[in-house]
Amino acid sequence: MKKPEPLEEGDQVPNFATTDDQGTKVSSANLKGCRFLLYFYPRDNTPGCTAQACGFRDLWDGFKDKKTKIFGVSGDTAKSHEKFRKKFDLPFPLLMDEDHSLAKAFGVWGLKKFMGREFDGIHRMSFLVDDAGKIEKAYHKVKAKENPAQILSEL
């Protein structure tokens, strides 16, 4: 188990291809020319992850006004993502990363400690990517409730 080594501002986004909870293909190639936010979170339906997702939902119009797409990413199943999205009326897609390849590519996969246990998992981090595919802003120390408003205020 090793510590996460997240990508930094100015880094090129790694090539990736996945699907969202509806089966729609999403890739770094088809996002070229768009500004987007990838926010990584540990798990659907947990208090912090729900607060963060609902924060993005509540500020959705502001992100649309700034022409910024939002994608949530965790290692949960499509069924879990779909239930989570519907339960909280999330207007943005949740991307599939069951094998953690996307989390590893962005450097957010690594050693976590919780209740005296150590394990590998996804660290809560967000990456704002510009229309050229470079990381415009990296948020490595994310507070779930504050992250959506913080990012929107910086756009």
In angstroms, the CA 47 to CA 124 distance is 13
C-alpha closest to that of 85 among 61, 53, 63 = 53
Q: What is the DSSP string of 59-75?
A: THHHHHHTTEEEEEEES
- pLDDT over 70 for what percent of the chain? 99
Q: What's the confidence (pLDDT) of residue 58?
A: 98
Residue 2 pLDDT: 80
Question: Is a pLDDT exceeding 90 seen at residue 120?
Answer: no
Pairwise CA distance, residues 27 & 46, whole Å: 27
54 is catalytic: no
Instruction: Choose, from 13, 38, 49, 53, the residue flagged as catalytic.
Output: 49
pTM strictly above 0.85: yes
All structural domains of the chain, each given as residue ranges with its CATH number in brackets, are 17-154 (3.40.30.10)
